Structure 1
Amino acid sequence: MSIREIDEKTLDFILEASKSAHPNEFVGILRSEKNKITEILVLPGTHTSEQSAFMNIYMLPILSHACGSVHSHPSSNPNPSQNDLTFFDKFGEIHIITANPYDGDSWKAFNRRGKEVKLKVFRPEKNPTSEDEPWKKFWD
């Protein structure tokens, strides 16, 4: 499987969770459907601080569709540390690092070898009568 996209709402969640956790790191597991990242799992027993984050990978559900990890750096540097690279090589296909100020321009994705890869942000077409305004159909 080759991850090529991330759902826009999933990326928004990652950035907001990273911002909310600041100055501590945020950490989670990426889940995918086909070639797109669609969800984040936060594992029980996860510990974070201003310098690091630790996940109990053994808490990962068996059928999790895990494809990698996400974590934040409280600094403005979204590049992986040596510890990040060691973890990347042992778990998953794709890894995302967000950095302060946790906006659309302050994140990067990496493969398991630590090489930066580009992910397309999947933005579904807006349909005002679907999930945004379910009541509109009733009143029209």
Structure 2
Amino acid sequence: MQIKGIARETLDFILQVSKSTYPLEFAGLLQAKDGIITDILILPGTESSEVSATLRLFMMPNISAVGSVHSHPGSVIRPSKADLRLFSKTGSHHIIAGHPYGPGNWKCFNGRGEEISLDVLDVEIEDEELL
């Protein structure tokens, strides 16, 4: 799927959750609708600490993810070796949010850990009805 960008509301959610879980790391998977990242999936069994967050990928339901998201309690916004291992398993777009989790404290990376551009889009996210 070609990713056009991320919904501003979704990015705001990422930054708010990152700030509220600080100093622990927050982690989740990114989902997209019509090429726009709109949802964050938080997997059961995710473990967070001040130095890492571990996603239990075996807990992932039968859905597709376009990438991952996690926070760094420090201001360094670069993928670690552990991040790169996760990136290789979870899609093409990976967001890292860094402390203090403001509008300019995040970056997007491809699966190789290279910084890539991700537009922030002002779109309305439609709520899906639960069955």
Whether TM exceeds 0.5 here: the answer is: yes
- Cα deviation for residue 65 of structure 1 reads 3.1
Measured in 2, the distance between the counterparts of 1:98 and 1:108 equals: 7
Alignment of 1:44-63 (within 5 A): 44-62=44-62
- Cα deviation for residue 60 of structure 1 reads 1.1
The residue matched to 2:104 in structure 1 has which SS? coil
Please say if residues 6 and 121 of structure 2, whose CA atoms lie closer than 8 Å, have aligned partners that are also in contact: yes
- Cα deviation for residue 124 of structure 1 reads 3.0
Q: Percent identity?
A: 50
- Cα deviation for residue 102 of structure 1 reads 0.3
Alignment match, 1:81: 80
Please say if residues 4 and 118 of structure 1, whose CA atoms lie closer than 8 Å, have aligned partners that are also in contact: no
- Cα deviation for residue 92 of structure 1 reads 1.0
User: Which residue identity lines up with residue 17 of structure 2 in the other structure?
Assistant: A
Gaps of at least 5 residues in structure 2 are: 125-131
- Cα deviation for residue 78 of structure 1 reads 1.1
Measured in 1, the distance between the counterparts of 2:122 and 2:113 equals: 26
Question: Between Structure 1 and Structure 2, whose CA radius of gyration is higher?
Answer: 1
Please say if residues 33 and 65 of structure 1, whose CA atoms lie closer than 8 Å, have aligned partners that are also in contact: no
More helix by share: 1
Measured in 2, the distance between the counterparts of 1:33 and 1:124 equals: 11
With the length of structure 2 as denominator, give the TM-score of the two structures. 0.90
With the length of structure 1 as denominator, give the TM-score of the two structures. 0.84
Matched, 1:8 2:8: yes
Structure 1 runs (4+) greater than 4 angstroms displaced: none
Gaps of at least 5 residues in structure 1 are: 126-140
Alignment of 1:117-136 (within 5 A): 117-124=116-123
Q: CA RMSD in A?
A: 1.2
